Amino acid sequence: MFRKRIVLVVALLVLLVFFCTLQHLQGYLPAIERLPKTNQDVEEAIYEELSRLPESYSRDALQLNSAERFLSNIKRTGRWGLESVPLQQLWAEANSWPSDSQLTNLSSALMGRILYSLGHARITKADLDTRGTQLKILLTLMGEQECVFKPKWYPIEKSIEGPVYAGKDRYGSEIVGFYLSVLLDKPFVPASVERTISLKYDVLPVATNRLLNVSLEKENRSCVFGQCFYCSKEDPICDNEGNLLTGAVIFNVRKSFSSYRSPWQRTYKKRKKAAWEDSVDYCSAVKTRLHKKRLLDLIDVAIFDFLLQNGDRHHYETLDDNIVWLDNGKGLGNPYVQHLDILAPLYQCCLIRKKMWQVLLSLAGGALSKYMKLMPDIQNVLTEPHLRAMEQRLRLVFATVEFCKGRHDMRIFDRFCHKSGHFEFAPNTSR
Ligand X SMILES: *[C@@H]1O[C@H](CO)[C@@H](O)[C@H](O)[C@H]1NC(C)=O
Minimal distance in Å, beta carbon 116 to ligand X? 17
Q: Would you say 66 or 262 has its CB closer to ligand X?
A: 66
Per CB under 6 A, which of residues 166..195 are in contact with ligand X?
none
CB 382 within 8 A of CB 372: yes
Considering only 89, 213, 240, 428, the residue that binds ligand X (CB under 6 A) is 213
Give 88 or 220: the residue with its C-beta nearer to ligand X. Answer: 220
Q: How far is CA 413 from CA 263, 282, 430, in A?
A: 21, 20, 11
Asked if residue 8 binds ligand X (CB under 6 A), the reply is no
- The region that residue 77 occupies, defined by phi over 0 for left and psi between -120 and 50 for alpha, beta otherwise, is alpha
Binder to ligand X among 20, 92, 109, 285 (CB under 6 A)?
A: 109
Looking at 32-40, 100-108, 353-361, 385-393, which segment touches ligand X (CB under 6 A)?
A: 100-108
Return all residues near 370 (Cβ < 8 A) that are at least 6 apart: 61
* Selection from 307, 345, 341 nearest residue 44 by Cα: 341
Phi, psi of 275 (to 5 degrees): -55, -40
Give whichever of 15 and 109 is closer to ligand X, judged by the CB atom: 109
Closer by beta carbon to ligand X, 213 or else 240: 213
| Cross-strand partners of 351 | 411
At 262, phi and psi to the nearest 5?
Answer: -75, 135
C-beta closer to ligand X: residue 97 or 149: 97
- Smallest CA-to-CA distance from 304 within 258, 360, 371 is with 360
The stretch among 99-107, 299-307, 318-326, 391-399 that binds ligand X (CB under 6 A) is 99-107
Please indicate if the annotation marks 251 as binding a ligand.
Answer: yes
Piece of 42-50, 137-145, 210-218, 264-272 that binds ligand X (CB under 6 A): 210-218
252 is in an annotated binding site: yes
Q: According to the binding rule CB under 6 A, does residue 380 interact with ligand X?
A: no
**For residue 125, what are the CA distances in angstroms to 30, 137, 147, 149, 322?**
65, 10, 11, 12, 32
Among residues 210, 373, 388, 422, which is the contact residue for ligand X, using CB under 6 A? 210
Asked if 428 touches ligand X (CB under 6 A), the answer is: no
305 is catalytic: no
Number of residues that bind ligand X (CB under 6 A): 10
Residue number, 214 or 390, with CB nearest to ligand X: 214
Q: How far is the CB of 355 from ligand X (least distance, A)?
A: 15
The least distance separating ligand X from the CB of residue 246, rounded to whole angstroms, comes to 22
Is residue 208 part of the contact set for ligand X (CB under 6 A)?
A: no
* CA 33 – CA 347 distance, rounded (Å): 19
- Check binding of 255 to ligand X (CB under 6 A): no
Active-site pick, 312, 320, 341, 377: 312
Residue 175 annotated in ligand binding: no
- What are the phi and psi torsion angles at 343 (to 5°)? -85, 5
Cα–Cα distance for residue pair 50/401, rounded to 1 Å: 10
Cα-Cα-Cα-Cα dihedral of 343, 160, 315, 180, to 10°?
Answer: -60
- Strand partners of residue 331: none
Q: Does 214 sit near ligand X (CB under 6 A)? A: yes
92: contact with ligand X by CB under 6 A? no
The helix/strand/coil state of 137 is strand
Quick one: which of 276, 379, 309 has its CA closest to 164? Answer: 309
Residue 327, annotated as binding a ligand: yes
Query: Residue 91 is inside which H or E element, if any?
Result: helix 87-96
342 Cβ contact list (under 8 Å, min separation 6)? 164, 302, 305, 306, 309, 310, 311
107 binds ligand X (CB under 6 A): yes
Report the nearest approach of ligand X to the CB of residue 219 (Å): 5
**Does residue 388 belong to the site contacting ligand X (CB under 6 A)?**
no
131 phi/psi in degrees, rounded to 5:
-70, 145
* One of 56, 220, 240, 267 touching ligand X (CB under 6 A): 220
Of 189, 422, 399, nearest to 305 by C-alpha is: 189
C-beta of 83 vs 219, nearer to ligand X: 219
Region of 76-84, 103-111, 351-359, 412-420 interacting with ligand X (CB under 6 A): 103-111
The residues binding ligand X (CB under 6 A) are 102, 105, 107-109, 210, 213-214, 219-220
Which residues make up each annotated binding site for ATP? 134, 150, 250-253, 317, 327
Which residues make up each annotated binding site for Mn(2+)? 169, 327
Enzyme catalytic residues: 312
